[in-house]
Structure 1
Amino acid sequence: MINNSYLLGLYGATNPYSSGGPALPKPKTQPTAPWASSAATTKPSDMVRAALAGRRLINESAVSLDMAGASADYRKLFALYQGLNSLSALADRAGAKGLTNLEADQLSRRFSEGLAELSTYLSTAAFSDVRLVQGISQTTVKTGAAIEKDPTTYVTQPIHDGALSDPVKAFEGDVRFAIGVKSGSSTKTIAIDLSEMGDTPRTMENVVDYINTQLSDAGVQTRMARELIPAQPKVIKAGDKSITLPAGPDQWALKVRGGTGETVSFQAVDTSDAVYVTQGVGANKTAQLLKFQVDGGAAPAAQPGVNGSFWVDGRVGQTNLPAGVDAIRASAVGPDGALWVVADLTSGGTNQPIKGARDVALMKFDSAGNLLQTSLLGAASTANGYSIAVADDGRVAVAGSVIGALEPGKSGDSPKTADSFVTVFDSTGKEMWTQRRGAKAADEATQVSFGPDGVVYVAGRSQSAMPGTTAIGGWDSYLQTFKEQKTSVIGPVTGVSLSTLQFGSTGDDSVQAMTTSGSNIYTAGVESGRIVVRQFTLDAAGVPTLAATRDLGRANGQISGIAVENGKVVLAGQTDNPALDIGTVTNAHAGGTDVFVATLSLDLQASGDDRLTYFGSDGNDTAADVVVKDGKIWITGAHRDAGAGKTDPTRAYLARLDLETGAVEYNQTWRGDNDQATPSTISIVSGGASVLDRLGLPQGEVMQSESKLLTVATSARAGDQFTITPAGGGRAVTVTIDDKDTLDTLAKKITNASNRQLKVTVITDSKVNPPVQRLQIVAADNKEGAVISAGAAGKDALAALGLTPGFVGKTGDKSAKTYGLNLSNTLNLNDPASIKAAIDSLASAMTIVRSAYRSLGPQTSTNNTMTGKGSSTAYQQAQQASYQAALNRLLA
């Protein structure tokens, strides 16, 4: 007699030939998972070894299922889990102590490749009863990246606090300026002179009424208004405690309302030169932009603003830079008087996310300190900006270093080794071309300069031979030449490499300053601990040849700038050497580290006309940046008292010295929060200061529209990609960003790529000020939606757009259970914090894969939410039918 109790027990039936007996083992309903205690395990070290050997991390053919006829979904889940486990093993190994640089580099590279492999697999794997996505599942998504709507108003910084009936200090004295209103081809200039108000108190309301009367009489639509800025309580930190201070008085600002079709500008009547200083203040080095009105000129005297802290005579503006600015190393003034600043960002804010851990931003400010636009480099991992140059036609060049991908898909020789880059932008902040030129070892571009006829010079340092050169030893200096050329008659401009020189000593060398003057280039740096100046002559094509070298003595400091002025080479920096080999000393060394200013002959030969001036106190003084103008040198830096440590109080300073006599003609010092003020850059604008600074109004045009191009307004670069896969089935379609894309054109691309499964619209977000536009993505009416997947590592556009890869569908979608791994495509092993983040994210993702596995097993409810039938999956339905057929035959 055949005992059928086991088969009958599967379905709750009773064997008619048996009266009972011991319980039989429960039947196997799912294959044994790779994380089960009974499953064979692979040592983490073996997984790392296999991964570094180049084996695929996700390999369905390597998965063995111990249950015949099991759903193909199990094989996919197990292969995915093993891939995640291998990535986790790589991350764990990267966090181990004592790794060599070579092994760390190998682990980082393989991890990036593995993450890209995972992204590709998830975008192409065809699951039947579950849906796995790299990100999360949502019904509505909006881009984090946003573009400001065309502005119709301009609001100044606060210029008054207190009652509206109180006279405004900013309106006191001689306040005269002009408002230009352009409509079509005609421009009307409206003179504003507050003395015409007579004895009328110069309150906010009265002055606004007076200005609007002048505008009305001129027949223009543009108007002025006042803007209330309500007082807010202030929270400060005192040790580990937070203290809330009561709100101060309400503040008031001026608002410009542009008329329809009118362009508004402001012109000052009397001006003086302006000096801009960027600095970091406080324990966290909060980035600030300061503006000074310096002596000379006819502008009314400077006065404190309502929000200015640590005010010093002559300062007419103070602006906190956006959160996320980590360092500022260079600034320059454009031909329109606007200030360009190169900053390193660790975050891009809510409207302009960055792709990786650190990016370079080119920020443009108007004369009132308002941020007009920010152009991001778009590095996929890490980048630093070190130098800036502005050409006469408004082009801007930025040079620095980048780790990982910059141009889509190109990550250099090593994902953890820095390469040099130079990017040239047009006057609107749109990228024209980028060149990445790296050695096998680390290198970085520290200086950039424009030459004649579209030539761009880049100088820096490298730990090995730059392409086409020979290494000397240690860190070598280099000088590269790029020529701008059109790719075709109507094509874009690109930079073509003309030459590379590598020079220096067998020790560690650097180029810390560079200037172009006529047919000469001068560089200055520290070579094997000594200050060395070099002269290069340029041939007809602009290619340099070394012509002269001068050693100025032991450095123990740094070079801050070099220029050519009045037939002399001017060099400045800081040193503790009281006897640099330069010639006549006009001011003696004061002790500690002092600022030095040297004037040398153009051929760098020693001359009786050479001059050396020391500037400083008996403590340590730094020269962060210098500018030479009209026979004078402007210097900014910090003073630290003798014996003070690096975190002891520092006083910032701005000084002007005469190059011939060394006389100190101007010197202002100030402090900052927590007694920490550290300047970083300096720029000068002729005629840039005026009474408009008091009013928070810029010289020139206001309400300039931001570029609508995604490659300008976001960190996306042309060639960045992501994919769309319709939820109902179909191939993944790649969406590629090009240099003409806007939010509108991208919306159309996403809609088409989803086979119209998604509805994509441009919406206005009025919750932020000023209002911005974003993309909103939802499932189209009566459609299932689609899966958005990240692009390959180094060319992913989603991070730049502020989108998370995942599924976008309807609420209550029953077509398949969706599981989001929530794995960022920017995970990396570059530093301890990144390694920990990667380990945590992978652990969470593996937990989610286990949940998807359980969902394929028997369900507790009568009807399965995925199939609507009594068994949990199509596979188990087939198995049940087979068992029932066997029972029928046995019992027949």
Structure 2
Amino acid sequence: MINNSYLLGLYGVSSDTTSLLGQTVATPRRAAQPTPPWSTTVTATPASDLVRAALGGRRLIDESAVRLDLSDGSDTYRQLFSLYQGLETLSALTNRSRETGVAATEQALLQKRFDSGLQEISTYVAGLDLEGVRLVGGTAAATAKTSAGVARDRPTFTTAPVHEGAVETPVAAFQGDVVFDITVARTASTTQTLRIDLSELGGQPRTLDAVTGLINDKLEAAGLETRFGREQLPSETRTVQVGTRTVTLPDGPDRWALKIQGTSVETVSFAPATSADAVYVAQAGANGAQQLLKFSADGVGGSSRIGETQWVDGRLSQTALPEGVAAVRASAVGPDGSLWLVADLNAEGLTGQPIKGESDVALLKYDASGRLVASRALGAASEASGFAIAVAADGKVAVAGSVTGALEPGRTVTDAAVSDSFVTVYDSAGVELWTQRRGARAADEATAVAFADDGAVLVSGRAASAMPGAAGVGGWDGYVESFRASQLYPGAPYTVRVEATRQFGTTGEDGVAAMTVVGSDLYTAGVESGRAVIRRFTLNAQGRPTLQSTRDLGVLSGEIATIAVDGGRVIVSGASRNAALQAGSVVNAHAGGTDAFVASLSTDLAASASDWVSYYGGAGEDTAADVKVSGGKVYVTGVSNRPFDAEDEDPTRGYLARMDAASGAVDWARTWSGDGDQASPATLAVASGGASVLDRLGLPNGVVAQSDSRLLTAATSLRVGDRFTVSLGDGGRARTVTVDGRDTLQSLARKIEQASQRRLIVTVATGTDGVQRLNIRPRDPEQGAVLNSGEAGRDALAGLGLSPGYIGATSGDDVTQTFGLNLGSGLSLKDEEARRAAGEAILKAMSQVRAAYRALAPQSETQRITGQAPAYLTAQLANYQAALSRLTGGG
């Protein structure tokens, strides 16, 4: 028996009835939804036309251009189709950027149009008014959690591994003369200092338990609550490559660390009996991994060497810098012995500290044991790089560099693609005090910073046009600016004024690479039209610089690293291919290629018989990545003696050398390889008295930091004035949540709840990593809320690590189906990897629009119409019936 529906289907007719000639019939199915732009029946606009129109300035979304082929099609479909066509254009721009042979100028235009188009789509989605479905620009989920967080207080301190093997065996790090002091403070006026001398154990083996027992006995006798213990560290997975196979090795011997269990009422610090200078070197290794190395040139201290790689004599420790650090640019040691690093962050940011743009600047603080105790992100909206750092005698820290896009609240950026100079000053705890952004009409950047004795902050750099308040010379010029900050009362916002700006150079390519301030004298060192030029300015009471003298050292063919004043001499250093710099007598001759150099000049910069220059390097290429002068010694680090024909992936070796600042003679030097045969030192810093027996014990020289700032503007990349909006899932006015300088996680949680009219429950939860984060969930899953990003440059959601979007139930009975485009603010066309990621994200967003369209389809796609069938259809059905009867033998 052949079913009627089968025959009707052959002719494109749908029917649910077995009576073909009755008064009531099923008519052919009529479209319940307008035809979408992705239908195969719709002629698609060529991608090249979409790109051409977008680059010509046409908007990506145009509701008036949408034609619905269903007379009763609602505005919901018009909005969905308009959005889809906008995403198609965004996809076409992305695909064009991935084609081969696209010129750099066109790539820049594509990036600019992509950014504006992404913002256009984001704004459009935020204003959608759909019936039956909900569409948001970000994610759609039942709950949300910030990736940014604030670390809880850390009363427990665990060292790096100090022992390997059985716990009962003697510890190598405890052998020899081990003497240090532990100071425990309960209040500012109540402190106790205990001398720890392991010789008091006599002939007893110096095991972990024996040494911690000796220390705890003294702590208990003094009535203190802090205690020492031991902790077994988890084994690290080790692998080796055997041919094409990766083989996992068995676990190695047990590794042990010292553990200090403190209390909230006791502050613990350590001080060695004897010490020497320590040198910190930050370096990049294989695959961009960043490390911090600590050295002693005087044989003081010693490394436990457990778990360390590529060890070299004189190295005290090796510490991996956190993921997210793309490069270390500058470093300095504070008066308390802590180490400050200025680093560039990649788009991922630090763990628990996401950034708002493509890159940002981080200020990292380490104690003497190599423990990260504080991290600060500048909070740039687009891109930023830090190039310089200075630490004042009172512990204030100044960081300078370049920034594009928004930075300061309330300040409009004329051209978000042009870099400006910035300087930020922090207190000794790393809390931001003030920030100034200064820029020429063309690009400029700050490359050096220093504190004057009277507290003024001096910044120098280079600019491609006139800086505000100065006149350009031509090409890139060097400049110096003086800032002074003041408060009406403690705790009040700082008022910062620019005291003076001085621009100088030639009509060629000039800039300042290094600067130092001694009393009223300011010295700059830079490259001007290819020549090494030293300038001396005097500062008046208002900080205005007046040029006093200049010294030209000749053609550099290299770079300047630093300038300092030590022992009544001006010390200039860098790297040069010129074997005959005009800096006096040669102490150590140039060895070939590019060599590091150190030059000693008179303070008035006049040539004298006491001037000298000393070169350091091999016959290949040597760099002077950083140079510091301390205690009559000059420390130089960089890449050592690289072959002229070396490729980027070829092995590199790092070096650290020490010269006598009075004679230029090299009295100590070390070279080393790195993991993956890559070692590329970037910065160095010298800590006076920073090397001691505490290094092999894994203990810091100074206070054990137990807490950090809880302010969101300190612990995250958020800045005052950053914001986002919260609106109810069923519509209504969006309410703004704005970050202020006093906000903590707790206060921000209350703000979000209030903005959501209590639709959201926001709590502070502590993760297994000891970091507190916000958890957000709807009070009633069926009545959620929408988080929308703040405007470009002031988006707080990015700084919190929160995706914009809907929080609440996304499907189910009596629940509006919700779809998230998940178009993050980090999408870009800057390189092939970013273009691929952007293309994938846009395709997923387009699929969400299609899913929303399908969700709008009626439950039953067959629409029944009653009444008399048309004559032509009645005749057709009669023919079908007759054919059916003949096939089945009925007629």
Asked if 1:779 is matched to 2:770, the reply is no
Check 1:794–1:93 CA distance in 2 against 1; reply closer, same or farther (3 A cut).
Answer: farther
Separation in 2 of the partners of 1:101 and 1:812? 46
| Pairing of 1:334-373 with structure 2 (within 5 A) | 334-346=334-346, 347-373=348-374
Check 1:557–1:287 CA distance in 2 against 1; reply closer, same or farther (3 A cut).
Answer: same
Deviation at 1:595, TM superposition (A): 1.5
For 1:545, the aligned partner's letter is: T
Structure 1 gaps, min length 5: 1-8, 862-870, 888-892
Deviation at 1:747, TM superposition (A): 0.9
C-alpha contact 1:223 1:259 (8 A) present in aligned 2:
no
| Pairing of 1:435-834 with structure 2 (within 5 A) | 435-486=436-487, 491-640=492-641, 643=644, 645-646=646-647, 647-766=649-768, 768=769, 771-781=770-780, 784-810=783-809, 812-814=811-813, 815-834=815-834
Separation in 2 of the partners of 1:104 and 1:407? 29
Q: Secondary structure at the match of 1:512?
A: strand
Deviation at 1:454, TM superposition (A): 3.5
Check 1:886–1:188 CA distance in 2 against 1; reply closer, same or farther (3 A cut).
Answer: farther
| Pairing of 1:276-291 with structure 2 (within 5 A) | 276-281=280-285, 283-291=286-294
C-alpha contact 1:109 1:414 (8 A) present in aligned 2:
no
Aligned to 1:264: 268
Separation in 1 of the partners of 2:302 and 2:564? 30
Separation in 1 of the partners of 2:867 and 2:511? 83
For 2:126, the aligned partner's letter is: S
Asked if 1:67 is matched to 2:66, the reply is no
| Pairing of 1:861-880 with structure 2 (within 5 A) | none
For 1:548, the aligned partner's letter is: S
Aligned to 1:835: 835
C-alpha contact 2:23 2:867 (8 A) present in aligned 1:
no
Separation in 1 of the partners of 2:867 and 2:613? 103
Q: Deviations over 1:667-697 (max 9, x none)?
A: 2222222332221111111111221111111
Separation in 2 of the partners of 1:745 and 1:11? 64
Deviation at 1:239, TM superposition (A): 7.9
Deviation at 1:18, TM superposition (A): 6.4
Q: Deviations over 1:806-845 (max 9, x none)?
A: 2211375432111111111221233333233222211221
Deviation at 1:113, TM superposition (A): 2.8
Q: Deviations over 1:682-733 (max 9, x none)?
A: 1111111221111111122214302111111111222222222212332222
Separation in 1 of the partners of 2:868 and 2:693? 97
Higher alpha-carbon deviation: 12-21 or 498-507: 12-21
Q: Secondary structure at the match of 2:252?
A: coil
Separation in 1 of the partners of 2:148 and 2:642? 46
Separation in 2 of the partners of 1:783 and 1:19? 46
Asked if 1:31 is matched to 2:30, the reply is no
Which of 194, 217, 220 matches 1:190? 194
Check 1:755–1:686 CA distance in 2 against 1; reply closer, same or farther (3 A cut).
Answer: same
Aligned to 2:874: none
Separation in 2 of the partners of 1:415 and 1:96? 26
| Pairing of 1:69-108 with structure 2 (within 5 A) | 69-95=72-98, 103-108=106-111
Separation in 1 of the partners of 2:243 and 2:723? 46
> Percent identity between the aligned chains?
52
Q: Deviations over 1:38-71 (max 9, x none)?
A: 4465454554455455554334344333322322
Aligned to 1:248: 252
Q: Deviations over 1:631-673 (max 9, x none)?
A: 3211112212555625544332222212332221222222222
Which of 159, 179, 189 matches 2:182? 179
Check 1:800–1:375 CA distance in 2 against 1; reply closer, same or farther (3 A cut).
Answer: same
Aligned to 1:209: 213
Separation in 2 of the partners of 1:664 and 1:444? 34
For 2:820, the aligned partner's letter is: G
For 1:289, the aligned partner's letter is: L
Check 1:147–1:239 CA distance in 2 against 1; reply closer, same or farther (3 A cut).
Answer: farther
Q: Deviations over 1:122-167 (max 9, x none)?
A: 2332222001112222222211112211112000001000001100
For 1:790, the aligned partner's letter is: S
Check 1:194–1:62 CA distance in 2 against 1; reply closer, same or farther (3 A cut).
Answer: same
Check 1:108–1:327 CA distance in 2 against 1; reply closer, same or farther (3 A cut).
Answer: same
Separation in 1 of the partners of 2:714 and 2:695? 29
| Pairing of 1:100-249 with structure 2 (within 5 A) | 103-184=106-187, 185-236=189-240, 241-249=245-253
Count of residues in Structure 1 that have an aligned counterpart in Structure 2: 854
Q: Secondary structure at the match of 2:587?
A: strand
Check 1:292–1:140 CA distance in 2 against 1; reply closer, same or farther (3 A cut).
Answer: same
C-alpha contact 2:275 2:691 (8 A) present in aligned 1:
yes
- TM-score, structure 2 as length reference: 0.90
Separation in 2 of the partners of 1:182 and 1:430? 24
Higher alpha-carbon deviation: 734-743 or 301-310: 301-310
For 1:146, the aligned partner's letter is: G
Separation in 2 of the partners of 1:832 and 1:408? 33
Deviation at 1:87, TM superposition (A): 2.5
Aligned to 1:3: none
Separation in 2 of the partners of 1:674 and 1:329? 22
Check 1:155–1:68 CA distance in 2 against 1; reply closer, same or farther (3 A cut).
Answer: same
Deviation at 1:425, TM superposition (A): 1.4
For 2:33, the aligned partner's letter is: Q
Aligned to 2:879: none
Check 1:54–1:736 CA distance in 2 against 1; reply closer, same or farther (3 A cut).
Answer: farther
Separation in 1 of the partners of 2:349 and 2:67? 46
Deviation at 1:506, TM superposition (A): 2.7
Q: Secondary structure at the match of 1:33?
A: coil
Separation in 2 of the partners of 1:690 and 1:573? 30
Separation in 2 of the partners of 1:500 and 1:696? 46
C-alpha contact 1:154 1:255 (8 A) present in aligned 2:
yes
Separation in 2 of the partners of 1:190 and 1:308? 31
Check 1:656–1:16 CA distance in 2 against 1; reply closer, same or farther (3 A cut).
Answer: closer
For 1:728, the aligned partner's letter is: D
For 1:139, the aligned partner's letter is: A
Separation in 2 of the partners of 1:240 and 1:420? 50
For 1:392, the aligned partner's letter is: A
Deviation at 1:480, TM superposition (A): 2.4
C-alpha contact 1:108 1:416 (8 A) present in aligned 2:
no
Q: Deviations over 1:180-234 (max 9, x none)?
A: 2222341122221111112211101111111111111111111111011132331
- TM-score, structure 1 as length reference: 0.90
Deviation at 1:101, TM superposition (A): 5.6
Deviation at 1:749, TM superposition (A): 1.1
Deviation at 1:303, TM superposition (A): 4.2
Q: Secondary structure at the match of 1:302?
A: coil
Deviation at 1:286, TM superposition (A): 2.2
C-alpha contact 1:381 1:826 (8 A) present in aligned 2:
no
